[in-house]
Structure 1
Amino acid sequence: MSRMRSTVPLALLGVAAIALAGCSSSTSPAATAEPAAGALEPATITLYTSEPQEKADELVAAFNEIHPEITVEVFRAGTGDLTTRVATERESGGIQADVFLAADAGTFEGYAAEGLLLEYTPADVEALNADVVDAEGFYTGTRIIPTVIAYNTGIITEAPESWQELTDAAYADQIVMPNPDVSGAAAYNAAVWLDDEQLGEEWMTALAENRPVIADSNGPVSQAVATGAQPVGIVVDYLVRELAEQGSPIAVSYPSEGVPYVSQPVGIFADTEQAEAAQAFVDFLVSEEGQKLAVEQSYLPVRSDVGTPEGAPSMDEITILSPDLETIRSTQDAAVETFRSLFLR
């Protein structure tokens, strides 16, 4: 199964809201009925996700307000651990999850190419940003999560404005960043940086010479910056907003060269025995209600009719790095190995 394609730049989310009327799809079973109308047969589905546990619990609770008859069992881990778990389960008899909500589109491209995902187009798909919807219908992005530069405002008086600035000797031993062996976003970022002509291996080598601390995931990175243990971090933006709202001395800088982003896609495994319940869960994630919850959880949404988090820029204020997904998928393992050789020696 070949899935060669290119990705167009992320469309602006600041455009006028898309009218929802008449947006049902004749090819989608769930698109012929309103997601909140009527109960389904009682069912239990298993969700594998890299979402923080508290946020995953909020998602399930909100979904159960609409579909109390569906039980969602959550297994939460970093994306690297989740993909390892899926690979192990495939070898030992079958994937135990029904729904996968994690990481970047490249991971889902690989799963789709291997025939692991159920083809499904969510209800209200026309209301979504087209750049996060798989053209072949195997997965859909659920939020926009850029990786940015975070800095401690009590220590750093002038925020770094570019990725290149982080290679300056002034930032030696001052930076913290996540481990791509654990964080799916970090693995994706490594491939994007290496692919970008403004950055590439030369930039990564120079950054490594500043001896960044490598934390397990984005959460510890943001905490290290907020506490001042490391005054500068490379981290996903929503964590910075959350800590700033809580009063931590932390702020965000969107580098001038552009920011890589993941869309936290959701997909349904092809061998699920609870397809209808799984589809209802996918529908909820990208519905108006589900996306309002995403905004409340400090994420940039994938639809334009639900606002944006307080303090977040509009997408037309951010330069986005949108590489070819097939290139990133095919080079990501090698990019992670390059990262290991440079940063984890």
Structure 2
Amino acid sequence: MSRTPKVAGVATLVVLGLTLAGCSTPAATAENTPEASAAAALEPATITVYTSEPQEKIDAIVAAFNETQPDVTVEVFRAGTGDLTARIEAERTTGDVQADILLAADSATFEGYKADDLLLAYTPADVESLNQDVVDPDGFYVGTRIIPTVIAYNTGVIDTPPTSWADLTDPAYAGQITMPNPDVSGAAAYNAAVWLDNADLGDEWLVDLAKNKPVIADSNGPVSQAVAAGTQPVGVVVDYLVRELKAAGSPIDVAYPTEGVPYVSQPVGIFASTDEEAASEAFVDYLVSAAGQELAVEQSYLPVRNDVGTPDGAPAMDDIEILTPDLDVIADTKAAAVARFNELFQ
């Protein structure tokens, strides 16, 4: 936000460049298209983004956005979702949130912020091209990628991999499983609520899983690394990390559990307290545009639109059984679910 003082520790990323090919068309032929509108050059502005995106990935996003909007300075504060939500809560209790945009977490988190009137209503350009499951029907946020949580396994250690959540309760996996901490990972917190809400899993499954004494890592990154190294050869982790490690040559692969997989859509929303609406809206537009989603695919994410392909090695969304809980229920139960998880696993 263009307010002072700025958030400490924020890195300013400004990359000047030419307009991305395909993101705009000559004004004489496409003057009123959504792409042309979204790519129209803005006056100088500064926006602050709170995000849980890995640093290299958010750096690439900002650089690509600045190719179409060179006069918009994007300041980034990156942290785990748990730290971000704690920061937002602290800021809102003492005044306005010191950011323009949140790019993190899950739809249930954004539902809570919507209910608290923290978000600005905005419908991105070309919204009809998106998977409507990730679009808030009230227009306060939109998903930017599909990130399922799956079972990863080390192919050099595990001969017969688990293919279901139920398989993870087998005593044969005692001491071999690792999972992310829901106090740090927004996806892990969301998953805890989804599992507890699922009739085929629920508290009984969590209790049985806890008997195998999974190692709780700080976040998804250390989980995937432990599986690739064979320290804990089975992990519960977001799928894109497995694809990246496998592509780099690690002995790791993925199973999409037969009961279905929870997923987060890494929503983006604009805080109602922003004083840079136009620049914030342009950033949202870029994230879900064809160009922004092509970049998401390059970064190993499943996209939220079907005209940009999918990452190498990724299944089609139609081939994945997706768990789609009631978001109101998940929002209402997530804190209790995390507390229950911590009681059992930590």
Shared topology, TM-score over 0.5?
A: yes
| Structure 1 match to 2:25 | none
Aligned equivalents of 1:93 and 1:141: distance in 2? Answer: 27
Counterpart mapping for 1:32-71 below 5 A: 34-37=37-40, 39-71=41-73
Q: What SS does the aligned partner of 2:253 have?
A: strand
Aligned equivalents of 1:62 and 1:32: distance in 2? Answer: 15
**TM-score (norm: length of structure 2):** 0.90
Q: 2:98 aligns with which of 93, 96, 99?
A: 96
| Structure 1 match to 2:296 | 294
Q: 2:246 aligns with which of 226, 244, 256?
A: 244
Counterpart mapping for 1:183-262 below 5 A: 183-262=185-264
CA contact (8 A) 1:30 1:279 kept: no
| Structure 1 match to 2:29 | none
Alignment-mate amino acid for residue 283 of structure 2: F
Task: Report the identity percentage.
Answer: 71
Counterpart mapping for 1:148-159 below 5 A: 148-159=150-161
Matched, 1:161 2:169: no
- Gap runs ≥5 in structure 2: 1-31
Q: What SS does the aligned partner of 2:120 have?
A: coil
Alignment-mate amino acid for residue 206 of structure 2: M
Alignment-mate amino acid for residue 73 of structure 1: E
Q: What SS does the aligned partner of 2:66 have?
A: helix
Alignment-mate amino acid for residue 34 of structure 1: S
Following TM superposition, the consecutive aligned residue runs of length 4 or more in structure 1 with deviations greater than 2 angstroms are: 29-34
Write out per-residue CA displacement over residues 71-105 of structure 1, whole angstroms, 9 at most, x where no aligned residue: 10000000000000000011122210000000100
| Structure 1 match to 2:12 | none
Alignment-mate amino acid for residue 178 of structure 1: P
1:325 Cα offset (Å): 0.3
Alignment-mate amino acid for residue 310 of structure 2: T
**TM-score (norm: length of structure 1):** 0.90
Write out per-residue CA displacement over residues 187-213 of structure 1, whole angstroms, 9 at most, x where no aligned residue: 000000000001000000000000000
| Structure 2 match to 1:24 | none
Q: What SS does the aligned partner of 1:289 have?
A: helix
How many residues are matched? 316
- Gap runs ≥5 in structure 1: 1-28
1:171 Cα offset (Å): 0.3
**Pair 1:143–1:188, CA change in 2 (3 A):** same
Aligned equivalents of 2:47 and 2:103: distance in 1? Answer: 13
| Structure 2 match to 1:10 | none
1:31 Cα offset (Å): 4.9
| Structure 1 match to 2:129 | 127
Aligned equivalents of 2:37 and 2:249: distance in 1? Answer: 40
| Structure 2 match to 1:275 | 277
**Pair 1:33–1:339, CA change in 2 (3 A):** same
1:315 Cα offset (Å): 0.8
Q: What SS does the aligned partner of 1:340 have?
A: helix
Q: Relative CO higher for 1 or 2, CA cutoff 8 Å, sep ≥ 6?
A: 1
CA contact (8 A) 1:150 1:251 kept: yes
